[in-house]
Amino acid sequence: MTAPDTAPPAAADTAPDTAPDIALDVRDLRAGYDASDVLEGICLQVARDERVGLFGPNGHGKSTLLNTISRVIRPRAGRVAFMGEEIGQLPAQTIVARGLVHVPQANRLFPDMQILETLELSAYTPRARAAKDETLDRVLQLFPRLAERRRQACKTLSGGERQMLSIGVGLMSAPRMLMLDEPTLGLSPKLKDELAEAIAAISATGIPLLLVEQDIAFTLSLVDRMYLIDHGAISREVGRSGGVDHQEIMEMYFGTGEGA
């Protein structure tokens, strides 16, 4: 297993054992659909106290990466470790039970289920069920709009409400780490601010974050560090020491992306 030359130097093939402060450790992950390869050897790490952004042009494999980590699709090669344990071979439900929770892009959830029912069901794993009532209170506090509409079916929710519910569903699964895929897709600036606040509040409780986002300002307000994904590989990483520099990001995005 050799890392492609686009991999960041930090991917250290020479240190296969995960450091104890690493929450998520992805090594040379490859995946795709049928005949097409999408991920060409992804390496990335998220520390236990870290919020990391993942950024890149449309169709370059961000969602595929999250789907592979959470085992919605099967990896073709590579390793994934979560909290120091290999999870690459585990089925999706076990990964959730371990606490690695994926909130997918534009999740339409369960069209005919009501909000409250969906949230209750989402505390499905034993660990999540044990904390169900508390978490439900917290989610409804975080998103009062969901509380107002608790009997409304998922399919009738607005885009913003659905996004809130998706994140709420993620929280109900009792995450020890959250992977959010484009939580602000198609939302108004005002709603984006609301969501950013909610996500910051979630992450302030000590939950590490891997955030996929197209909105740079939104991402910058939330993360400590960012990866740029380019044609299925990590092409750059910024902000490991100190904060993330806006200018640097703009250069990175418009310099190496295929035009936004």
> Does 63 sit near ligand ATP (CB under 6 A)?
yes
Among 90, 92, 116, 185, binds another protein (CB under 8 A): 92
Stretch near another protein under the rule CB under 8 A, chosen from 7-15, 64-72, 206-214, 251-259? 64-72
Query: Considering CB distances under 5 to 8 angstroms, the limit depending on partner class, which of ligand ATP, Mg ion, another protein, none binds residue 146?
Result: none
SS3 24: strand
List C-alpha distances in Å: 147 to 31, 168, 256: 39, 11, 43
Among 68, 70, 135, 163, binds another protein (CB under 8 A): 70
Burial 109-132 (b: 16+ CB within 10 A, else e): bbeeebbbebbbebbbbeebeeeb
> Does 235 sit near ligand ATP (CB under 6 A)?
no
Among 16, 59, 111, 255, binds another protein (CB under 8 A): 111
Q: Which of these, 122, 116, 34, 44, lies nearest to 78 by C-alpha position?
A: 44
SS3 37: strand
Return d(Cα 109, Cα 215) in angstroms, integer: 23
> Does 149 sit near ligand ATP (CB under 6 A)?
no
Least distance to ligand ATP, CB of residue 101, Å: 18
> Does 135 sit near another protein (CB under 8 A)?
no
Among 3, 29, 38, 195, binds ligand ATP (CB under 6 A): 38
> Does 109 sit near another protein (CB under 8 A)?
yes
SS3 79: strand
Contact status, residue 14 vs residue 36, Cβ threshold 8 Å: no
Return d(Cα 88, Cα 81) in angstroms, integer: 7
> Does 105 sit near ligand ATP (CB under 6 A)?
yes
Contact status, residue 223 vs residue 53, Cβ threshold 8 Å: yes
Binding site for another protein (CB under 8 A): 70-72, 91-93, 96-97, 101-104, 107-113, 117, 120-122, 124-125, 128, 169, 172-173
Binding site for ligand ATP (CB under 6 A): 33, 38, 56, 58-64, 105
Binding site for Mg ion (CB under 5 A): 62-63, 105
